[in-house]
Chain A
Amino acid sequence: MKLVIGWLYPDLMSTYGDRGNIMVLEKRCEWRGIDVVIVPIDFSTKIGELRTMDLLFGGGAQDRQQGILIDDLRKNKGPTFKVLIERGIPGLFVCGSPQLLGSYYMTGDGSKLDGLGIFDMVSKHFGNDKPRCIGNLVAEITNEKLKSTAKRNTIVGFENHGGRTYLGAGVQPFARVKRGFGNNGEDGTEGAIFKNCIATYSHGPLLPKNPHIADWLIQKALEVKYKKSISLTSLLDTEEWDAHEAMIRRLV
């Protein structure tokens, strides 16, 4: 079996350890004998190639970097991503991605920026007077799809965002916040799930300490690609769970 993983603009959307997610997906496939190809998706990537992706990953971008790529994403690649995601291709989008994938993002000065409109959600920045949401995060997976297959029902991460996201009826929350802020610090939701895609405010390396999420993505990618139910060989994840538990012990 083989998976092609598309990594969105690795030069531009790699703010803080985002690469960890790719390393984890790659190794966890390798350890199970699944071939992996990591394809960096950038300005030169053709739509035809984009259509061959089995799994997508998008990291966080700094403002200037986001400015450089946003046009390419909106005009050239966005519609194809939408088609892939609608078809069930799994993806993980961390950090500021809820702002990018949603319908729009209202900036601090009140101007409205169009998002890709793939996820039914909106994000708002209430200006710099409202404190950023920063810190370690523990959340409980609420999404039924994930809950039924994942080995554990918690996720741990780190969030750092100024904007707040509000989910619409077309998406489901990824998890419920136990410690931290999550989407908006008000309704207790964290991230969103649409089809087989996860958007989360947990930034940077989400997967290293959440191997169950990594495996869920791999499993879904294989199931969609090979059109059959897949059960992955289980791995000994002692180190990963130690790190996971250490954070839960500290925070909860």
Chain B
Amino acid sequence: METIISLVGSVLSTFLKVFRIGSGNTWPGEIALKIEPHILQKLVSRIQKGIIIVAGTNGKTTTSLMIKKILEDHGYSVLHNKSGANLLNGVVSSFFADTRTSFDYAVFEVDENALPGVLAALGKKNTTPITLILLNLFRDQLDRYGEVDVIADKWEKALRTLPQSTTLVINADDPQLSLIGRNISYPALYFGLDNELLYLPKMQHATDSIYCPICGKKLEFTGVYFSHLGDWKCTNCGFMKPTLSLTEKEIHSPLEGIYNRYNTLAATLVTKQCGISAKEIAASLKNFLPAFGRMEEVIYKGKKFKILLSKNPTGFNESIRTVLHSDQKGPLLMMLNDRIPDGTDVSWIWDVDFNQLNPFKNALIVSGDRGEDLLVCLKYSIDTYKEKVEKNLIRLDKQLDEAVDRVARSAKKDETIWILATYSAMLDVRKILTGRKIL
């Protein structure tokens, strides 16, 4: 039976690829699951050494690609699901999209809400050890995902059902995730930052877990790296940031942005557990290329564009911080869509600290389905809004393609054009810049 379904899956997968039918990354899995709901239990026997699962609101794609690269550079064969295909159907589809039938490792990035379902689908009989990375948990698409606390509860319940051979790799800077590590009986390893030079001057507005997840009292933060990630402890019940198994001094992030330091830490800690040396990991990461839309560089009409997927307040804040701190200067184009992959609710833009952009000298352009909403945000956040509008340094360019063309024409030769975009806007802008559709 498994062979037949696999065959059907593979044929379908190839068919969809050849004819460039959209969602080809999830259909084969969807159909296979319809025929045999327990298909994943059978498929995982193809994985020999370990199943690595990456979960979290931000950083899943980058972290899993880093892990994949390090493992492959070491000579391991790796199965990996495509970004955007991170539900159960995408995980199952990845087996069909790959012509190999045996792998050393599988690296799966899994959507926050889909994690319990994917873990359950691995089945009780699976003997391949699981390593589960919990990167962070921020507010994101409440219309679709529900509240942060609800997700954390669901995760903990699902994690309790995993075998003792499981290893958890947790971001110690996130209080709510640290609690999960404490409540689970199998081992947890922690990564985090311990660098006071990276502390924010004050707490950002977009925080989710600044109250003790055990006793409910307000946590004390010696310093915050971003959102609610920081050096924390509860002075009431004594719950505090766990001891780190790997610190930032031991790594070098190949990408700009504080969040990429977390991604690098997670990837390094996991691959170390796979027996790869620190030196080898560092060498692998040195020439790491970002995933599409994640600090991706594209040359268009002779100008350099950098695309930063920014889909929730924390991600957006960190993208802005990255742009401000980069040596590469140039105009900033921010795009907000409200389609299903973006989340239909754009209320979150009011949790973004756009006032960070007060010292920004270059042009600020807003665009997308809800570009008008971004413009209102800027009006209430930028002190010199009026003058900047008069000088055309702040403007709404409603149509994406026109916005991109205009900024490409107006940018100076040596400038970098920064693009911050929600998911569907990022795909659209990539299509304009590269002339190709990716998903």
Contacts and interface: CB of A to CB of B under 8 A. Distances in A.
A209 B377 CA distance: 10
B375 A135 contact: no
B143 interface: yes
Contact of A17 (B149, B351, B372): B351
A134 B143 contact: yes
Contacts of A68: 211, 216
Contacts of A58: none
Contacts of B420: none
A239 B143 contact: no
A62 B147 contact: yes
Nearest to A10: B205
Contacts of B150: 62-63
A17 B348 contact: yes
B347 A240 contact: no
A23 B376 contact: no
Nearest to B176: A64
A23 B380 contact: yes
B373 interface: yes
A64 B148 CA distance: 10
Contacts of B210: 11
A113 interface: no
Contacts of A20: 347, 350, 377, 380
Contacts of A135: 344
Contact of A205 (B143, B147, B218, B350): B350
Interface in B189-230: 205, 207, 210-211, 216, 218
A158 B211 contact: no
Q: Chain A contact residues (Cβ within 8 angstroms of B): what range? A: 20 to 34
A242 B344 CA distance: 19
B349 interface: yes
A15 interface: yes
Interface in A116-143: 134-136
B381 A203 contact: no
A234 B135 CA distance: 48
A62 B143 CA distance: 13
Contacts of B375: 239, 242-243
A246 B366 CA distance: 15
Contacts of A208: 350, 373, 376-377, 380
For the complex, would chain B's binding face be called helix, strand, loop or mixed by DSSP majority?
helix
B344 A16 contact: no
A62 B376 CA distance: 26
B142 interface: yes
A243 B371 CA distance: 8
A24 interface: yes
B186 to A, nearest CB: 26
Contacts of A27: 380
Contact of A11 (B218, B349, B350, B376): B218
A95 to B, nearest CB: 10
A74 to B, nearest CB: 16
A24 B380 contact: yes
B390 to A, nearest CB: 13
Interface in A184-228: 203-205, 208-209
Contacts of B350: 17-20, 23, 204-205, 208
Nearest to B389: A239
A11 B211 contact: yes
B139 interface: yes
A14 B205 contact: yes
A140 to B, nearest CB: 21
Contacts of B149: 62-65
A239 B348 CA distance: 18
A106 interface: no
A134 B145 CA distance: 12
Given A15-B147, A16-B345, A20-B350, A209 B376 contact: yes
Interface in B350-365: 350-351
B347 A136 contact: no
A244 B373 CA distance: 9
Contacts of B347: 16-17, 20, 158, 203-205
A236 B387 CA distance: 15
A20 B210 CA distance: 20
Given A11-B218, A205-B350, A16 B377 contact: no
Contact of A16 (B207, B211, B351, B379): B351
Contacts of B142: 15-16, 160
Nearest to B144: A134
A27 B361 CA distance: 23
6 tightest A-B contacts by CB? A204-B347, A20-B350, A17-B350, A17-B347, A243-B372, A62-B147
30 contacts: A11-B210, A11-B211, A15-B147, A16-B345, A16-B348, A17-B348, A17-B351, A18-B350, A19-B205, A20-B380, A23-B350, A23-B381, A63-B147, A63-B149, A64-B149, A65-B149, A134-B143, A136-B344, A158-B143, A158-B347, A160-B142, A160-B143, A203-B347, A204-B347, A204-B350, A205-B350, A239-B372, A240-B379, A242-B372, A246-B372
Given A204-B345, A208-B377, A239-B372, 13 more contacts: A16-B348, A16-B351, A17-B350, A20-B377, A63-B147, A65-B149, A134-B344, A160-B345, A204-B347, A204-B348, A208-B380, A239-B375, A240-B379
